[in-house]
Amino acid sequence: MDYVYGPGKNHLFVPGPVNIPEPVLRAMNRNNEDYRSPAIPAMTKTLLEDSGTGAWESALTNTLSPGDRTVSFLIGQFSLLWIDQQQRLNFNVDVVESEWGQGANLDILAEKLAADHSHTIKAICIVHNETATGVTNNLATVRKLLDHYRHPALLLVDGVSSICALDFRMDEWGVDVALTGSQKALSLPTGLGIVCASPKALEASKSAKSVRVFFDWNDYLKFYKLGTFWPYTPSIQLLYGLRAALDLIFEEGLDNVIARHTRMGKATRLAVEAWGLKNCTQKEEWYSDTVTAVLVPPYIDSAEIVKRAWKRYNMSLGLGLNKVAGKVFRIGHLGNLNELQLLGCLAGVEMILKDVGYPVKLGSGVAAACAYLQNNIPMIPSRI
């Protein structure tokens, strides 16, 4: 039972954690099992930790040594937190800072790579999709720069709010470590950090001097070779949920999943435009299809929008964080979510804007989104 009851279903539109689909909930509704039984290794072929933050630490400590130079881009709250972690782990962090609402400054990256003749830069650390500001970075360009300057630095990517929602090509873009969290596009509860490492990253782990215990890839690889996969006790329920979540993604088709997120991102931005408000993201090339950060007029505290959503309409929206606190609210549109659910959210936002004194025309954003979606939603493949 809810601790604070509200009738109907909570409309969860933060950019993670997201709605959990019924098949995943049912898959997790099971008793404990022996995690060394043959059933469990059959489900787990990836390195998993305990959270996205843990996955950050895993990526860094397994590939780098204290004092190693990293280039990391500060463009919002989550890139800031990853930089803080790098600094606390005693790496030499070369911070490239941009105004919040802008993407990573890749011109500066090019300059740094061109000047680094002795290859002191050991890793490029970049957040693919910064959820605080709704900014998506161009990873393909990062790889082109590394290749152009023939630079051997590792490419470490936070794909927490992008993988399984946005176009992500680990092999083609030469990503050395990609990481994500279960509570985002995978549509699971929080609790799994998923790390994928390239052969180059695995080779780097053999000489990395950073202290690690729980996150040590060598322990996972050792048990992987033994056929039991887990050096520590995993959550059986989350593993069954992950299997069900991946089955849903594969049934829909990953290309279709990405296209669905593209539609919802576009529809949300059209609604924001119809309301007469602006996107925090400053250029179209950086628009995110998993979260939209909406700028509000100076006379409105965006925290009041989030508070009113929860108190009156049983809806959860994302707060503005740090530098954009009070200035933006965030609409999450990722995970196992369809267009009609999104339209319900947009209708709720319109009423909330009216509540807090913004002169929105009710129905304007919903109409703009509907007009776009009605012309672009395909037939459901399994129902044709």
List binding-site positions for substrate. Answer: 330
Give the annotated binding-site residues: 330
How does 220-246 read in b/e, with b if 16+ C-beta sit within 10 Å? bbebbeeebbbbeebbbbbbbbbebbe
CA distance 128 to 46: 20
Own/partner long-range contacts of 137-141 (Cβ < 8 Å, ≥24 apart)? 137/73, 137/75, 137/103, 137/104, 137/286, 138/103, 138/106, 138/285, 139/168, 139/169, 139/173, 139/175, 140/169, 140/172, 140/173, 141/106
273 CB burial (10 A radius; 0-12, 13-18, 19+)? middle
Report how far apart, in Å, the C-alpha atoms of 325 and of each of 3, 87, 211, 301, 315 are.
Answer: 27, 24, 35, 9, 19
CA end-to-end distance (rounded Å), the chain = 38
Taking the alpha carbons of 40, 42, 45, 51 in that order, is the dihedral positive or negative? Answer: negative
Minimal CA–CA distance to 280: which of 318, 317, 329, 343? 329
What's the DSSP call for residue 102? B
- 370: Cβ contacts below 8 Å, ≥ 6 apart: 343
Q: Is residue 344 a contact partner of residue 314, using CB atoms and an 8 Å limit?
A: no
Q: What is the DSSP string of 107-127?
A: HHHHHHHHH-TT--EEEEEEE
CA distance 246 to 271: 31
Which amino acid, residue 53? T
Q: Is 48 helix (H, G, I), strand (E, B) or coil?
A: strand
- 329: Cβ contacts below 8 Å, ≥ 6 apart: 293, 294, 296, 302, 305, 306, 317, 318, 319, 320
